[in-house]
């Protein structure tokens, strides 16, 4: 899913996030003051961005329920891994079909 520059996540520390992979890497290195600016008792900017821009409601719900960057990293990593697995499953099916047609 492609998003426009207006939909990018612009972090307090100047980081620009364009997708889940960017957010994952950002969370691995973000300083605590920047993290707390975006995730605190009043708001969770990451969950809002994931829901509103990336349109991933299930992930947004999980992210919204934590204020721990390590947990967020785990949740995001799992969704990326699941998506990669689905791609591999589709590729395997296509390969089997092509092989059966050619074989």
- pLDDT digit string (tens) for 30-81? 999 999 999 999 999 999 999 999 999 999 999 999 999 999 999 999 998 8
- Host domain of residue 83: 5-102
Q: How confident is the model at residue 18 (pLDDT cuts 50, 70, 90)?
A: very high
Q: Annotate 51-83 with DSSP letters as a single string.
A: HHTS--HHHHHHHHT---HHHHHHHHHHHHHHH
Q: Is this prediction's pTM over 0.95? A: no
Residues 6+ apart with CB under 8 A from 56: 20, 50, 79
Residue 14: left (phi > 0), alpha (psi -120 to 50), or beta?
A: left
Q: What total of structural domains would you count in the chain?
A: 1
93 vs 5, more confident: 5
DSSP code of 10? E
pLDDT of 96 above 90? no
């Amino acid at each position: 899913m492609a998003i426009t520059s207006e939909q990018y996540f612009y972090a307090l520390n100047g980081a620009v996030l364009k997708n889940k992979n960017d957010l994952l890497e950002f969370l691995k290195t973000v300083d605590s003051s920047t993290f707390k600016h975006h995730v605190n008792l009043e708001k969770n900017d990451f969950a809002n961005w994931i829901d509103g821009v990336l349109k991933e409601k299930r992930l947004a719900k999980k992210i919204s329920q934590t204020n721990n960057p390590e947990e967020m990293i785990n949740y995001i990593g799992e969704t990326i891994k699941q998506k990669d697995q689905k791609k591999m499953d589709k590729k395997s099916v296509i390969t089997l079909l092509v092989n059966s047609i050619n074989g």
